[in-house]
Amino acid sequence: MAASLFLASPGSAQSFDYTLVDVPCSADLPTLCPNGTAVQTVVSGINAAGDIVGFFVDGARHQHGFMRKGGQYITIDVPGELAGVTGTLPSSANGINPAGDIVGSYTAPVNESVPPDSPAYCPAAHPAACTKGFLYSHGRFFSVLFPGHPGAVPQRITPNGDIYGCLHDNDLGMSMFGAVWTRFADSSLAAGGGQLADSTIEVPMSMNNGATLDGSVIVGLWNDASRRHGFVVQDGVFHSYDVPSATIRVTVIWDINPRRQFVGTYVDASGRHGFLQNPDGSAPIQLDVPGEMGTIAYGINPSGVIVGAYAIGPLSHGFVAAPVPPGLQ
């Protein structure tokens, strides 16, 4: 580790207007969805226009990715043909860029008859290897995998098409490394969504969750022998990051915007909270959906609008938090 980032304890100088998000439930499942909304909703990403992506669980307990654009919800389900089967696959949309390109992950069904780095490979004994990445661009789905590794989870896609996430083998532990996929310069591949596996962070049990446009700052998570931490890689130097508190048990950074504000979650003695860290090194701002528990801040756009999820019992629901201008607080 090159360095650690130490800051003042969490504060609350900025306030937010929270809008709660639950994907409308399918009209053909009224008995399984009596409230008219999905059983679970998680909002994972947001772009500059305010379009949001995430996943939801419907009344039949099937998981789907989604995008909300202009108030309209659009289901983003990876087609089974990507894994050599019919129907659709359990999907999660994680990030969206200004062009509307979406990255995320899907779960392949058991299939051990193909090479381990195939988008269809899924060993029954190692379900973590069944989690694969996808890119949805110009109405088409493309697999996102790292050569030689069966699993991947893309988290963010930048305006220029670079993808940040992680690769993994048969577990989400020591075989997981933060990864970057850089779009090919070849125009024919770029138009078709072609991606080149480019580089990794050489820290095991790590995951890249976002970056500035030029890639000079990357944020994410990593684990040591005792617990989970966030990290900031700035100009190639790895810094571990923890929200400061004697009772902190977990810190994760989930996204960063062009202003170098980053967001994430931490767990202390009182529970799980979201946080916003400004680039001036001031105390991180605690984020909690009013009246609710278990807040996680997953994404932030250039305007500082934050998205994420909160818990009601064992179930998650989404939120969008818009910063309140100083004169209106």
For the segment 168-192, what is each residue's pLDDT rounded down to a tens digit?
999 999 999 999 998 753 333 333 3
pLDDT in tens, 27-80: 555 555 657 788 899 999 999 999 999 999 988 888 999 999 999 999 999 999
Residue 98, by phi and psi: left (phi above 0), alpha (psi -120 to 50) or beta? Answer: alpha
Residue 221 lies in a domain: no
Segments forming the whole domain that contains residue 29? 17-213+288-328
Residue 219 lies in a domain: no
Residue 225 lies in a domain: no
- Across 201-270, the runs of DSSP E, i.e. the strands, are 206-211, 217-223, 228-234, 237-241, 250-256, 262-268
Residue 306 lies in a domain: yes
Residue 46 lies in a domain: yes
Query: What's the whole-number average pLDDT of the chain?
Result: 88
- Residue 146 is given by DSSP the state -
- pLDDT band for 193, please (50, 70, 90 cuts): very low
What mean pLDDT comes out for the span 78-87? 95
The pLDDT value given to residue 175: 93
The pLDDT value given to residue 192: 37
Residue 1 lies in a domain: no
Residue 242 has pLDDT above 90, yes or no: yes
Residue 4 lies in a domain: no
Residue 280 has pLDDT above 60, yes or no: yes
- pLDDT band for 1, please (50, 70, 90 cuts): very low
The pLDDT value given to residue 27: 52
Total domains present in the chain: 1
Sign of CA dihedral 226, 231, 234, 236: positive
Residue 245 lies in a domain: no
Whole-angstrom CA distances from 167 to 64, 89, 124, 144, 208 are 22, 20, 19, 10, 10
Specify burial of residue 293 (Cβ count, 10 A radius: 0-12, 13-18, 19+).
Answer: middle
User: Which position has the higher pLDDT, 120 or 293?
Assistant: 120
